[in-house]
């Protein structure tokens, strides 16, 4: 049976035998309880008193961890972020205190990759306008909607990490040729392209999976889109600021792009942009990596990372590559 989680505040600041781990944002106690172990009390709705004695925190993607929160959690030894993005976590401040920021890079990769292929199919097979034809009794107009194929098409992957590689594996099952560009981890030579523009020129479907940095912000801009193969589909399940929405809308209107799929936005929650109203755009609210199975795996991986640190073991993956196990033990 899963270990019960306490929701009432701790009455004593000293913790005689139990480690205290808090949830920041909705975290399923039934999933994390067994992973954390019998010597851990998990508090899903922490009070200030709980934060004051917490040694670990499992943090959802939309929650901030800044210097103020760290100051209110002086006993904190580990932060586990559900997912890989740490935009809202002050990793430098945590590292300065020897606190590893654990990430969970494996749990949602397959779900995101499936989301990319779902968007590619939706846009290539023109499901929205075809649905409208049937719904509105315009069957005779069906030949006016050009339906494309993934079989024989070229997929261009910008960012060849875990998700990008998995998208390539799925694309192969559809008979797609795969090319890739990654400024940080070069793909195999047989599929690599020297720059994103060269990749854009050769790809029927482009999918973005690079991290957001100063160099990749608005990677998809007017210059990039000028090199896109006419009629290409663009999908962004990476970070919202990888694309310039104004330039993307202009490329759609000009026919340079035939469809755009967006799961991520800048900022989030998304503020309305005219791009959203274009009929060849499909939108999802940053949920492609949050399927039922993926979320359960994410909670398990986050809890395992916390348990590892509390037990004196190095966690599997951390956001700060310069953090070492020895820092936490010092």
| The one catalytic residue among 165, 239, 256, 304 | 239
Q: Are 208 and 237 in contact (CB under 8 A)?
A: yes
How far is 281 from 260, CA to CA, in rounded Å? Answer: 5
**Closest by CA position to 202, among listed 179, 221, 224:** 179
Q: Which residues contact 330 (CB under 8 A, 6 or more apart)?
A: 98
How far is 296 from 29, CA to CA, in rounded Å? Answer: 11
| The one catalytic residue among 268, 273, 278, 325 | 268
For the chain, the distance separating the N- and C-terminal CA atoms, rounded to the nearest angstrom, is: 36
Q: Which residues contact 285 (CB under 8 A, 6 or more apart)?
A: 263, 269, 270
Backbone angles phi, psi at 42, to 5 degrees: -95, 130
How far is 310 from 107, CA to CA, in rounded Å? Answer: 21
Q: Is 273 a catalytic residue?
A: no
Q: Is 239 a catalytic residue?
A: yes
Q: Which residues contact 161 (CB under 8 A, 6 or more apart)?
A: 182, 185, 209
- Residue 72, both tokens: 């209110």
Q: Is 268 a catalytic residue?
A: yes
| The one catalytic residue among 77, 110, 286, 304 | 286
Which burial class, exposed, middle or buried, applies to 93 when counting CB atoms under 10 A from its CB (0-12, 13-18, 19+)? Answer: middle
Q: Are 3 and 39 in contact (CB under 8 A)?
A: no
DSSP label at 66?
-
Q: Are 170 and 117 in contact (CB under 8 A)?
A: yes
Q: Are 287 and 263 in contact (CB under 8 A)?
A: yes
Residue 20's DSSP bridge partners are 41
Active-site residue list: 239, 268, 286
């Amino acid at each position: 049976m899963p270990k019960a989680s306490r929701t009432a505040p701790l009455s004593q600041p000293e913790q005689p035998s139990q480690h205290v781990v808090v949830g920041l944002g909705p975290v399923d106690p039934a999933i994390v309880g067994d992973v954390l172990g019998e010597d851990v009390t998990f508090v899903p709705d922490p009070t200030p008193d709980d934060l004051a004695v917490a040694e670990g925190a499992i943090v959802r993607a939309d929650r901030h961890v800044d210097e103020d929160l760290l100051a209110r959690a002086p006993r904190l030894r580990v932060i586990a972020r559900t997912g890989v993005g740490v935009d809202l976590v002050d990793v430098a401040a945590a590292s300065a205190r020897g606190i590893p920021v654990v990430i969970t890079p494996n749990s949602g990769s397959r779900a995101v990759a499936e989301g990319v292929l779902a968007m590619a199919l939706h846009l290539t097979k023109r499901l929205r306008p075809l649905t409208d034809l049937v719904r509105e009794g315009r069957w005779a107009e069906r030949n006016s909607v050009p339906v494309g194929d993934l079989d024989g098409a070229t997929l261009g992957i910008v960012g060849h990490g875990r998700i990008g590689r998995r998208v390539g594996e799925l694309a192969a099952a559809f008979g797609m040729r795969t090319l890739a560009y990654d400024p940080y981890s070069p793909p195999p030579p047989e599929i690599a392209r020297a720059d994103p523009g060269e990749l854009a020129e050769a790809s029927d479907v482009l999918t973005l999976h690079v991290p957001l940095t100063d160099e990749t912000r608005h990677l998809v801009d007017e210059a990039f889109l000028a090199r896109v193969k006419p009629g290409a589909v663009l999908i962004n399940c990476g970070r919202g600021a990888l694309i310039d929405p104004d330039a993307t809308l202009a490329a759609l209107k000009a026919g340079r792009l035939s469809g755009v799929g967006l799961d991520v936005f800048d900022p989030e929650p998304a503020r309305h942009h005219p791009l959203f109203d274009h009929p060849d755009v499909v939108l999802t609210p940053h949920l492609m990596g949050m399927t039922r199975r993926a979320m359960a795996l994410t909670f398990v991986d986050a809890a395992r990372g916390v348990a590892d640190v509390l037990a004196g073991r190095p966690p599997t993956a951390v956001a700060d590559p310069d953090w070492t196990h020895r820092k936490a033990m010092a």
